[in-house]
Structure 1
Amino acid sequence: MKTLTLIIALVLSVNLSNAQEGAEKGKTITVTIENITNNNGSVILGLHTEDTFMKGQGIMNAESKIVDGKITVTFKNVEAGSYAIMALHDENDNKRMDFQENGMPKESYGMSNNPEMYGPPQFASAKFDLNDDDLDLKIIF
């Protein structure tokens, strides 16, 4: 019985140490937004793959309070791949984008690569590749 308990403990410790090593292999993406018009509400960010882009929650999500018109958020342990980041200044903290009667957004928003948009956002214009190095991105509202 002692041998069985020892084997189980050994297997669990090896699995836990492997899980921790795997978590450390991911990269970080640090996002900075410096031109927020006021400190009302918060900024909501979503890290998206092509499959999740414009379809709701990202594969990772974050929210940050605004201090002096800026925020910095870090997504940790992100695997290599192609991503896009969408950011919304949720001024009234209702956790969604608000629209005017004509369909235009009431709240500021932006995305990675800061594309000029003439219609709905497209993954191709906001996408970036995360490879071997951590990334620092600036988004402009």
Structure 2
Amino acid sequence: MKLIVAILTTTILFITNSITAQNNTITATVINVTSDTGKVGYALYDKTNFRMKPIQGAASKIVNGKSVVVFENVAAGEYAIICYHDKNNNDKMDFEANGMPLEDYGASNNVMNFGPPKFEDAKFTIIDKNVSLEIKF
């Protein structure tokens, strides 16, 4: 009987920990938007889908140069966020003919090199706690 109780207790703890791990949140805040015009678009990626279809996407209005989104129900793992200032509300990042961006953008960890963000520069880890990030354009 003690063995059965021990097995049930272990199973319940394992299931509870698994469910909790799926309920992490990521709060991303862009702190230096140059105007309150438009919105900021955010995309959450893992290494497999980086810069392709995001795991989650969101947009947020800008108030006093700041924009905040919360990604919910995020499992433990490595992630990266890319965001951009959609000044004209057309739901896409605009580029010049030569490929240079016309709208400000940023990524988690605030590493900005020439060219698009790289996963290794922007990655962060979620284990069992919620994460808050400040992103600068």
Question: TM (normalized to structure 1)?
Answer: 0.80
Aligned to 1:81: 77
**Aligned-residue RMSD, C-alpha:** 1.7
- Take 1:106 and 1:25, find their aligned partners in 2: how far apart are those partners? 37
Given residue 84 of structure 2, which amino acid in structure 1 is its aligned partner?
A: L
Aligned to 1:70: 66
Runs of 5+ consecutive residues of structure 1 not aligned to the other structure: 1-17
- Take 1:118 and 1:33, find their aligned partners in 2: how far apart are those partners? 20
Kept in 2: contact 1:23–1:77 (CA 8 A):
no
Aligned to 1:104: 100
Based on CA coordinates, which of the two structures has the bigger radius of gyration?
A: 1
Kept in 2: contact 1:26–1:80 (CA 8 A):
no
- Take 1:78 and 1:102, find their aligned partners in 2: how far apart are those partners? 37
Question: TM (normalized to structure 2)?
Answer: 0.82
* Identity score, percent: 45
Runs of 5+ consecutive residues of structure 2 not aligned to the other structure: 1-14
Off by >4 Å, runs of 4+ in structure 1:
none
Given residue 135 of structure 1, which amino acid in structure 2 is its aligned partner?
A: V
For these two proteins, the number of residue pairs brought into alignment is 121
Aligned to 2:50: 53
Cα distance, 1:25–1:102 mapped onto 2, change above 3 Å = closer
- Take 1:102 and 1:22, find their aligned partners in 2: how far apart are those partners? 47
